[in-house]
Structure 1
Amino acid sequence: MASFNSIFFLFFLFFLAVCGQAHPNYGDALAKSILFFQGQRSGRLPPNQKMTWRSSSGISDGSTAHVDLSGGYYDAGDNVKFGFPMAFTTTMLSWSVLEYGKRMGPELGNARAAIRWATDYLLKAATATPGKLYVGVGDPNADHHCWERAEDMDTPRTVYSVSPDKPGSDVAAETAAALAAASMVFQKVDPTYSKVLLTTSKKVMDFAIRYRGAYSDSLGSAVCPFYCSYSGYKDELLWGASWLLRATNDPYYFGLLKSLGADDSTDIFSWDNKFAGARVILSRRALLIKDPAFEPFRLQAENFMCSILPNSPSSTTQYTPGGLMYKMGQSNLQYVTSITFLLSTYAKYMQSSRQTFRCGSLLVTPNVLRTLAKKQVDYILGENPLQMSYMVGYGPRFPTRIHHRGSSLPSMSSHPEAFGCDGAFQSFFYTSKANPNILTGAVVGGPDQNDKYSDDRTDYSHSEPATYINAALVGPLAYLVGSYG
């Protein structure tokens, strides 16, 4: 029989182990959140592709318009390349590297590779035909009626673009933001590529300003209801100008910012609504450089934070019983990750400038914002009432029936024959079996307002992953890796 001392010692070791794991493994989550983008790749896959159940696809994209539009990312669980969310994804990945790249360790190179897979495509989309910006490949209405792999899809790969007579200020300004942000990511490691990105960004932004209009109005059912520009295009002009100002310091972009009069209040941040994100970027100058011209943006950023904080008298944000921010029923985690990025990043600026602010009587310190941000990340990674990670492949329990064609269908290596548009619905879409391929790192739409999650492939509003959900989570994860190891 073991002595009391040995039992106590074993208990003590167990206690240390538990205490040492008092938070999720942020390093593992960061690596997987970036690896996910390999599962969304379109185009010819490279030899170092780690997600090996995927194969090359969409190689002839753009051929109907006699241009090369291969590459880029499929936005979510479908096989369409939507330029609007892809550009936002790229901007957020780039912002993550700019703010937290030093905390990414060995994942920094992988993050850059994920950005470059997008920017190589966006450069082609912006320069293939003078006077046009290509903003989509694949007929979304036809695609959404089929359940087939990207590798053997047979739906029309229709090409969509905006132009002077069919403007798209929103998608153009978002593309400009993506290219400008990425130009800073590559400034030191590939200065030639960085210059190409910035030069192209300026041209695309000029197009967005000169030919004003919403791309939803120009393209109709090609982008709606999938990625309509519900918030209009003023927020993207503000966002694009903010990124170009940061990349160039050109006062022209500050003049543009002032001329927009974009003072709309908001309590959300997403691929569609960029007001809050732009204000956080611009508040950086007020906080770190002490430029009084940017004080109005700082105040707007703080008003946004006050609308999010649960104890703030001006909060307009719901929380689930388990503590998850709850903004909308469809793909709620996209708002959670995006807002969490802003909480983390504004806290960083506050810390650097030793600033605090108030929401009524509530004193807001950097730690207040970081605590809320950490709670959201921890919830996503499994610290929630269901004890389920909402990141596929992370933790002992995660969604296994995600709404994703490639993940839910056998890979080319195990089933080389094409399924056809309707051939896979009964056997692979409506089945209760787990997906055969693990889309490692994918963050799904998430639980409902009562912390419930059914893990149902047919329930796309909760079970579908998307590039913009992941892209916004990379920064907060990198911050937490640097803080907690």
Structure 2
Amino acid sequence: MKKIIAAAVSAVISLSSVASSMPLIKETSMKVSAEEGSKYNYGEALQKSMFFYQVQQAGELPDWNEVSWRADSVENDVVPGGWFDAGDHLKFSLTNAYSATILAWGLIQYKDAVKNAGLYDSYLRNLQWGLDFVAGCDLGDKVIGTIGDDAFDHVWWGSAEVYMRKYVLKGGTDPRPYDEITCTTTVAEMASAMAAGYIVFKDENPELAESYLNHAKSLFELADKTRSNDDQGVQQKYYNTKQSGTVADYIDELFYAANWMYMATGEQKYLDLCESDYIPYFPKENQSTERKYTWGLCWDDTSQAAALLYAMNTGKDEWKQHVKHHLEYWTTGYGGKQVQYTPDGLAWLFNWGSLRHATTTAFMAMIASDTIFADDAAFVDKYNTWAKSQMDYAFGDNDLGLSYVLGMGEKNPVNVHHRTSSGIYDDHWNELGSDTPSDKWETEYAHVLYGALEGGPNQDGTFTDTNSSYQNTEVAIDYNAGFTAALCAMIDDYGGTPLEDFPPVETPTRPEFLIKASINQASNSFTEIKAYAMNHSAWPARVIEDLSYNYYFDISELVDAGYSIDDVKVQKGTDQHSGDEGVATVSDPIHYEGNIYYVKITFGDGRVVMPTGQSEHRSELQFRIGIADTIQNVWDPSNDYSFKDLVQGGEDAMIETPYMTMYDGDKLIWGTEPNGKTPDDVSKLKGDINLDSEFNIADVVLLNRYLIKDTIKIDKQGVINADMNEDDKLNIFDAVIMRRTLAK
């Protein structure tokens, strides 16, 4: 639901406990601060991972989304909401389902630890966001597979908020295209997510949980009946689940889903189905009769997770031994096989998301230690120690000293392959992260992508820190899933405390709207200006529908010579967007004060000046202000306010000028008016807490954080603006009034 109409009390009332039916749940400790000897704050890491999932939210953002530089996007998708997959803007039901299942598993297993760390409510909200999308993709006899146009998505680089603006401009449709598929792997993953969601929410929200369970049953039935990955749709290009064309492609997901169904329902038939239909086809090691114990848990191979769940559900020793073989393979080796290692200690499976695999396997090792091997002290010590080493590698325990968890540690990679967090406005990303600032391209990232786990190092321990090295610098919801679940186990063992002042409200590091100009031509009867109106917004990226700017000029010399403003004519010249809806109009002179007048250039549609590409982030216009040629030696632009500092020439002559002012409606957003007014003048707008001269959801979020934690700093004028009922105090009633005011 739209965040501005959500009840304000949801921000301050804690959610009740969630009971789980998972067998062999470990009795968790009550630690909430880091133990001595643990140099990393795993509570902070979990808090920031929740932030990453909020960055990935598509559609109308909920009121609890705390990312100050995100706003609504792709609102008209056939299934709203969900998580963008990675650094792009496609949505896959497969990876949403996989990620939601793993996140749910971490919460089911280590619920008490998450609650004790104060992150339970946040975790539940973020999990439900993903689960609700998965539920929405269930069509009964088919499922929604992919939402988005991959041909466009992977050639355009920009922010989610203006994605549809560019897509439609390039001939795309709104809503975006989607496909319907029956791929067993995808459908079974969705069934697992729904069953895990039921376990999490059955006591918390019985009605929601029952809905999840109904979806789980329907989806499992469809997956089991179909038993084919032939029908994948667009996802096959990116998440190909059909490798061999045999039962091995999907049997692991059916085995996995059946175990989740058993845990959700307690019905023996699901375990019986494992014995009769799935286990006989469990993959084997090459040229061996032994069940496959190599590789690792990921979106396309859930066999080892299924084996662990089956061992937990049945207690069968043969499956406990299988899990041990898998974990031995990842550590000291088993059967002559061992995963590769980097020279500095990372268990390295392959080049795509090396840290994703290591941290997900760390989660598996910690669950196994806390459940089926809880009585084996040597095993528990070995695999918990190994799991911690892999997690700590991600936080900086490596030869490069890099924390691959963004926004944590002293040194992060410079580059991250993620469009929205880059804040790029001109669709040019190749120079991002460059050491050398450019006058032509943006080189600095606009935002910190807190909590995102980057792909990780190469096998030799090196790291290719460029955007084009997707294997190293990409981030994804499935990368963070196992990492996040592992953090639940880490805070159970080592504690961890979320930061009280997180997340920060980002402020722009560059002008979001600005004017560049030069003298195009000049004579003793006219001045012709070339101007660029520019939209470089990213906090969040947005389009101003009522965009305009002013050019100020002084007619004192005309008045002294006996002339008036009636003798001044304005003429429009070259307009970059003359063939578009947003064609600019140039007004007749408008009086400002004294002998100062201005012309206002207004865009019919703000879409012609939007942060979506090289041809849209600025709009060029030439206009002329002058008098009749018959009037000689009177026109003198040297006293014109907006003429100040302008020079004549080509592209190199274009300079930023604060003397031409820009407006969002009546609100000044760039420059300084002749009377000295600037956008930085302290706002006294009711509701404007962050003093950005706007009253919007960011102010509501700031007030809620202030009310909850009482550690957020609000300026004196911000406090005055926030006191909606003017009773000289800030409380929940002000928050309610703010929401109602925004909702009109």
CA shift for structure 1 position 26: 1.3
Q: Map 1:303-322; keep pairs closer than 5 Å.
A: 303-310=325-332, 312=334, 314-322=336-344
Q: How large is the RMSD of aligned CA atoms in angstroms?
A: 2.0
CA shift for structure 1 position 228: 0.6
1:424 to 414, 424, 427: 427
Do structure 1's residue 401 and structure 2's residue 428 form an aligned pair?
Answer: no
Do structure 1's residue 266 and structure 2's residue 289 form an aligned pair?
Answer: no
> Could you say which structure has the larger radius of gyration?
2
> One-letter code of the match for 2:178?
V
Give the Cα–Cα distance (whole angstroms) in 2 for the partners of residues 426 and 368 of structure 1: 44
TM-score, normalization by structure 1: 0.84
Do structure 1's residue 334 and structure 2's residue 365 form an aligned pair?
Answer: no
Do structure 1's residue 108 and structure 2's residue 120 form an aligned pair?
Answer: yes
> One-letter code of the match for 1:285?
N
- Summarize the Cα distance change of 1:77–1:426 in structure 2 as closer, same or farther, 3 Å threshold: closer
The answer on whether the counterparts of 2:432 and 2:445 sit within 8 Å (CA) in structure 1 is no
| Residue in structure 1 matched with residue 149 of structure 2 by the alignment | 139
1:296 to 318, 321, 334: 318
| SS in structure 1 of the partner of residue 137 of structure 2 | helix
2:97 to 87, 94, 101: 87
- Summarize the Cα distance change of 1:477–1:146 in structure 2 as closer, same or farther, 3 Å threshold: same
| SS in structure 1 of the partner of residue 86 of structure 2 | coil
Give the Cα–Cα distance (whole angstroms) in 1 for the partners of residues 413 and 120 of structure 2: 27
> One-letter code of the match for 1:79?
H
Deviation string 1:249-302 (CA, Å, 9 cap, x unpaired) is: 111111221112232103221111000001111111344xxxxxx333223212
Worse-superposed segment, 269-278 or 47-56? 47-56
CA shift for structure 1 position 106: 1.1
CA shift for structure 1 position 406: 0.3
Higher relative contact order (CA 8 A, sep 6+): 1
The answer on whether the counterparts of 1:391 and 1:399 sit within 8 Å (CA) in structure 2 is no
- Summarize the Cα distance change of 1:23–1:429 in structure 2 as closer, same or farther, 3 Å threshold: closer
| SS in structure 1 of the partner of residue 382 of structure 2 | helix
> One-letter code of the match for 2:310?
L
Worse-superposed segment, 240-249 or 148-157? 148-157
Give the Cα–Cα distance (whole angstroms) in 2 for the partners of residues 384 and 109 of structure 1: 33
| Residue in structure 2 matched with residue 40 of structure 1 by the alignment | 56
Worse-superposed segment, 44-53 or 375-384? 44-53
| Residue in structure 2 matched with residue 247 of structure 1 by the alignment | 264
| SS in structure 2 of the partner of residue 223 of structure 1 | helix
- Summarize the Cα distance change of 1:19–1:467 in structure 2 as closer, same or farther, 3 Å threshold: closer
CA shift for structure 1 position 152: 1.4
The answer on whether the counterparts of 1:36 and 1:439 sit within 8 Å (CA) in structure 2 is yes
Deviation string 1:102-154 (CA, Å, 9 cap, x unpaired) is: 1112111111111100111111111xx44221121002232112112221114
* Gap runs ≥5 in structure 2: 1-33, 284-291, 436-442, 496-744
| Residue in structure 2 matched with residue 9 of structure 1 by the alignment | none
The answer on whether the counterparts of 2:93 and 2:146 sit within 8 Å (CA) in structure 1 is yes
Give the Cα–Cα distance (whole angstroms) in 2 for the partners of residues 223 and 53 of structure 1: 29
Q: Map 1:29-428; keep pairs closer than 5 Å.
A: 29-62=45-78, 69-104=79-114, 105-126=117-138, 129-153=139-163, 154-155=166-167, 156=172, 157-162=176-181, 167-214=182-229, 217-220=230-233, 222-229=234-241, 230=243, 232-258=249-275, 259-260=277-278, 261-264=280-283, 265-267=292-294, 268-287=296-315, 294-310=316-332, 312=334, 314-352=336-374, 354-355=375-376, 365-410=379-424, 419=425, 423-425=426-428
The answer on whether the counterparts of 1:75 and 1:82 sit within 8 Å (CA) in structure 2 is yes
CA shift for structure 1 position 210: 1.1
| SS in structure 2 of the partner of residue 134 of structure 1 | strand
CA shift for structure 1 position 451: 1.7
- Summarize the Cα distance change of 1:22–1:305 in structure 2 as closer, same or farther, 3 Å threshold: closer
* Gap runs ≥5 in structure 1: 1-17, 63-68, 288-293, 357-363, 411-418
Deviation string 1:438-485 (CA, Å, 9 cap, x unpaired) is: 111000101111221232122111001111111111222222222222
CA shift for structure 1 position 349: 0.9
Worse-superposed segment, 50-59 or 368-377? 50-59
Give the Cα–Cα distance (whole angstroms) in 1 for the partners of residues 87 and 252 of structure 2: 27
| Residue in structure 1 matched with residue 680 of structure 2 by the alignment | none
Give the Cα–Cα distance (whole angstroms) in 1 for the partners of residues 430 and 382 of structure 2: 48
TM-score, normalization by structure 2: 0.55
- Summarize the Cα distance change of 1:52–1:177 in structure 2 as closer, same or farther, 3 Å threshold: same
Give the Cα–Cα distance (whole angstroms) in 1 for the partners of residues 456 and 444 of structure 2: 17
| SS in structure 1 of the partner of residue 179 of structure 2 | strand
| Residue in structure 2 matched with residue 7 of structure 1 by the alignment | none
CA shift for structure 1 position 314: 3.8
Give the Cα–Cα distance (whole angstroms) in 1 for the partners of residues 250 and 308 of structure 2: 18
CA shift for structure 1 position 92: 0.3
- Summarize the Cα distance change of 1:251–1:286 in structure 2 as closer, same or farther, 3 Å threshold: closer
| Residue in structure 1 matched with residue 488 of structure 2 by the alignment | 478
CA shift for structure 1 position 20: 4.2
| SS in structure 2 of the partner of residue 402 of structure 1 | coil
Give the Cα–Cα distance (whole angstroms) in 1 for the partners of residues 317 and 489 of structure 2: 26
The answer on whether the counterparts of 1:309 and 1:315 sit within 8 Å (CA) in structure 2 is no
Deviation string 1:148-170 (CA, Å, 9 cap, x unpaired) is: 222111445211112xxxx3111
The answer on whether the counterparts of 1:394 and 1:441 sit within 8 Å (CA) in structure 2 is yes
> One-letter code of the match for 1:279?
A
> One-letter code of the match for 1:120?
D
The answer on whether the counterparts of 1:245 and 1:251 sit within 8 Å (CA) in structure 2 is yes
Deviation string 1:42-79 (CA, Å, 9 cap, x unpaired) is: 010123221111111111001xxxxxx11000111000
Identical amino acids, percent of aligned pairs:
27
Deviation string 1:150-207 (CA, Å, 9 cap, x unpaired) is: 2111445211112xxxx31110000000010111111121111111101110101101
| Residue in structure 1 matched with residue 468 of structure 2 by the alignment | 458
Give the Cα–Cα distance (whole angstroms) in 1 for the partners of residues 403 and 324 of structure 2: 31
- Matched residue count: 428
> One-letter code of the match for 1:43?
G
CA shift for structure 1 position 399: 2.2
CA shift for structure 1 position 209: 0.9
| SS in structure 2 of the partner of residue 145 of structure 1 | coil
| SS in structure 2 of the partner of residue 227 of structure 1 | coil
> One-letter code of the match for 2:46?
L
The answer on whether the counterparts of 1:238 and 1:262 sit within 8 Å (CA) in structure 2 is no
Worse-superposed segment, 168-177 or 395-404? 395-404
| SS in structure 1 of the partner of residue 312 of structure 2 | helix
Give the Cα–Cα distance (whole angstroms) in 2 for the partners of residues 240 and 19 of structure 1: 36
| Residue in structure 1 matched with residue 7 of structure 2 by the alignment | none
CA shift for structure 1 position 368: 0.6
| Residue in structure 1 matched with residue 506 of structure 2 by the alignment | none
Give the Cα–Cα distance (whole angstroms) in 2 for the partners of residues 345 and 332 of structure 1: 20
Name the one with the larger helix percent.
1
